[in-house]
């Protein structure tokens, strides 16, 4: 009898302690925040925008083919003096608990970025639900709220649309890059490297973009477009780079995987498209008479993608000549990017970091004047080795015979 009682007691104890329902949260009580936007209100407070998944309309929409039932996400807003206050305040509009573990995107408005992102990210880094692997973008020209409101086709949840666009665009085109919250914090934290963040902008009619009709047209009234890289200095946005200059930044940072480069041939601009398949950049710091210099060595391998001019690709000499042109084009992109950063006096490439790694003692002396006086005058040597490995399925272009 005693034994039985003890057994029952221990079973009960297990049932109570092992089920772990101390702070239980039912799935139906959670609001999954997929993206967070941060804006500034007119009276200087923070406005947090939460893009919350509408679970019923995400899976269902694809099955119904068109999703007439409802929108896949809804937007909630709250203002507060800081991020945590705003996030708690949103509870008076939301019928569920805000749950951050699935937040994959942070959109920061350009206005806030210009004032500085320093303080903002602490709340995100400190919170144990939130992951620092979430991506960051800057909303260009529009508020973060507008960006998160736009409904998108193909990927129903617009946060996913932005994330995937960032990932694939970096991979095949290389003029924007995906930056994670953790990277930004690391850059803000360590001396000799300033953060950069890609921009997202709205093309089209913003007001129409938030209606379901936006995704019912073959060409939506409003689209989200990833464009430009924002350069930061002391946590504040100081300038943008676009297009090929932006790609120059990625070349230096060894972020280029694939891209396409157009080179001129015999005075015809945009004559040959060179497809980069593989690329590797190494950055090294040198010190001469107490003066630092940086050497950047880029190695690119690729194929000929397209030729609009008659070049005899069966002739290796022609290929070598073309390689020279490609090298010059890449070098120009890099030089432009470095020049732009020097003009803004912000070391987004981490050259200071390279100096610190190789010459820690000298770095200590120049650390405080690096951005202002040393970096803008820094000697940067760029060497590019480009290789055309193959010409794909054809040798000479068909216009060769004409």
Partner 1 sequence: MEPVKINARQLFVLIVLFEHGSSIVIPLGVGAKQDVWLAILLGLTFGLLLFFVYYRLHRYYPDAPLTAYAQDIAGPWVGKILAFIYIVYFLYIASRVLRDFGELLLTFAYPETPLFILNAIMMLAVMYGVYKGIEVVARTGELFLTFLYLLAVSGFILIISTGLVDLHRLQPVLEEGWKRVWKVVFTETLYVPFGEMIVFTMLFPYMNNPKKMKQVAIAGMALSGINLAIIMTINIAVLGADVAARSTFPLLDTIRKIQVANFLERLDIFFMIALIIGGFFKVSVFFYAAVIGTANLFHMQNHQRLVYLLGLMVLLLSIAIASNYPEHIKEGLKIVTIYMHVPLQIIIPLCLLVAAAIRRRSFKQQ
State the residues that interact with partner 1 by CB under 8 A.
17, 22-23, 101, 128, 131-133, 182, 185-186, 189-190, 356-360
Least distance from partner 1 to the Cβ atom of residue 140, Å: 27
In whole angstroms, how close is the CB of 312 to partner 1 at the nearest point?
41
Alpha helix ranges (H) inside 345-366 = 351-358, 360-366
Q: Could you tell me the smallest distance in angstroms from the CB atom of residue 358 to partner 1?
A: 7
Whose Cβ is closer to partner 1: residue 73's or residue 283's?
Answer: 283
**Residue 163 vs 197, nearer CB to partner 1:** 163
Do 302 and 390 form a contact (C-beta atoms < 8 A)?
A: no
Q: How near is the Cβ of 17 to partner 1 at its closest, in Å?
A: 6
CA 168 to chain centroid, in Å, comes to: 11
Cβ atoms of 224 and 214 within 8 Å: the answer is: no
Nearer to partner 1, 101 or 217 (CB): 101
Is the CB of residue 176 less than 8 Å from the CB of residue 226? yes
Residue 189 CB, nearest distance to partner 1 (Å)? Answer: 4
Q: Among 280, 273, 270, which Cα is nearest to 300's?
A: 280
Q: Among residues 268 and 357, whose Cβ is nearest to partner 1?
A: 357
> How many alpha carbons fall within 13 Å on the CB side of residue 235?
14
- Using the minimum distance from each CB to partner 1, give the nearer residue, 33 or 322: 33
**Two tokens, residue 208:** 């129409």
Closest CA to 100 of 35, 48, 158, 46: 35
Nearest distance from C-beta of residue 68 to partner 1, angstroms: 30
Backbone angles phi, psi at 267, to 5 degrees: 70, -5
When the beta carbons of 17 and 28 are compared against partner 1, the nearer one is: 17
Q: Is residue 139 within 8 Å of 209, Cβ to Cβ?
A: no
Structure tokens at 384: 């590019």
Query: Is the distance from CB of 160 to CB of 73 less than 8 angstroms?
Result: no
- Residue (6 or 101) nearer to partner 1, CB: 101
Give min distance, CB of 128 to partner 1, in A. 4
């Amino acid at each position: 009898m005693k034994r039985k009682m003890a057994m029952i007691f221990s079973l009960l104890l297990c049932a109570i302690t092992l089920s772990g329902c101390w702070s239980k949260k039912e799935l139906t009580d959670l609001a999954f925040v997929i993206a967070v936007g941060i804006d500034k209100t007119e009276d200087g407070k923070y406005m947090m925008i939460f893009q919350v998944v509408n679970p019923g309309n995400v899976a269902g929409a694809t099955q119904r083919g068109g999703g007439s039932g409802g929108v896949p996400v809804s937007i909630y807003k709250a203002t507060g003096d800081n991020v945590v206050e705003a996030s708690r305040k949103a509870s008076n509009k939301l019928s569920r608990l805000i749950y951050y573990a699935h937040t994959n995107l942070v959109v920061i408005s350009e206005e806030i970025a210009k004032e500085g992102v320093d303080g903002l990210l602490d709340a995100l880094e400190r919170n144990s639900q939130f992951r620092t692997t979430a991506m960051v973008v800057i909303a260009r020209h529009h508020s973060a709220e507008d960006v998160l409101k736009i409904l998108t086709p193909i990927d129903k949840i617009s946060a996913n649309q932005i994330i995937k666009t960032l990932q694939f665009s970096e991979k095949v085109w290389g003029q924007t890059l995906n930056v994670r919250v953790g990277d930004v914090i690391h850059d803000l934290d360590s001396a000799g490297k300033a953060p950069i963040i890609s921009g997202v902008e709205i093309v089209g009619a913003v007001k129409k973009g938030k209606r379901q009709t936006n995704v019912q047209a073959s060409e939506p009234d409003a689209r989200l477009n990833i464009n430009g890289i924002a350069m930061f200095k002391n946590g504040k946005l100081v300038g943008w780079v676009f297009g090929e200059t932006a790609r120059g930044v990625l070349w230096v940072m060894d972020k280029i995987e694939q891209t396409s480069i157009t080179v001129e041939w015999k005075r015809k601009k945009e004559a040959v498209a060179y497809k980069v398949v593989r690329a590797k950049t190494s950055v090294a710091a040198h010190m001469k008479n107490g003066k630092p210099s940086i050497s950047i060595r880029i190695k690119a391998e690729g194929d000929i993608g397209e030729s609009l001019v008659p070049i005899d690709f069966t002739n290796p000499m022609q290929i070598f000549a073309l390689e020279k042109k490609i090298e010059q084009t890449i070098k120009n992109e890099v030089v432009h990017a470095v020049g732009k950063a020097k003009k803004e006096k912000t070391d987004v490439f981490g050259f200071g970091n390279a100096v610190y790694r190789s010459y820690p003692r000298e770095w200590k002396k120049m650390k405080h004047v690096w951005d202002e006086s040393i970096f803008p005058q820094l000697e940067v040597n760029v060497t590019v080795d480009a290789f055309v490995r193959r010409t794909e399925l054809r040798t000479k272009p068909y216009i060769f015979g004409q």
